[in-house]
Amino acid sequence: MTTHNVLDVKKRMILRMGRGRKNVMSEMRQLDARQQLLVILMEECGELIQECSKSLRKGELFDRDSFKNEVGDVYTMINLLHEWDVISWSDIEEREQHKRHKLSRWSDLITDHPLQYSKLSTGTNWKDGDGGELFE
């Protein structure tokens, strides 16, 4: 194979890769609005997870701009879930009550549960599955 042929092959490979990338992009564009909504929601949730980790790693729990930005991005996506009829506020509010009740039992975030776990125990018993209930 001559140098000229090698360059031709490389050029063709680059063109093919470029076309492949374009095909992937056009497939992404074929997602309907609700599918786009879920993809972007996933991305924003990932970005918020990253900012939570950075807040903990840096020991900066208050007033971090990048954290606030990601909370706002997720909040926007939740509002869009409602605007596109993917969720209803009543479903979310019902779930909020359920989650608050669980948190009142299994965390220190809400302090009105008479059987709050942290008041009864010295800690979470991870082996008995307590951790899973925390994050349900």
How many other CB atoms are there within 10 angstroms of residue 101's CB atom?
A: 13
Residue 81 C-beta: closest distance to Mg ion, Å: 16
- For residues 101 and 133, the answer to whether their CB atoms sit within 8 Å is no
How many residues at the interface with Mg ion, by CB under 5 A?
Answer: 3
How many other CB atoms are there within 10 angstroms of residue 54's CB atom?
A: 14
The span of 14-22, 24-32, 44-52, 128-136 binding Mg ion (CB under 5 A) equals: 44-52
In 1-136, alpha helices (H)? 3-29, 33-58, 65-83, 89-106, 117-120, 130-134
Contact string 68-97 vs Mg ion (x = CB under 5 A):
-----x------------------------
Asked if 51 interacts with Mg ion (CB under 5 A), we say no
Asked if 47 interacts with Mg ion (CB under 5 A), we say yes
The binding site for Mg ion (CB under 5 A) comprises: 44, 47, 73
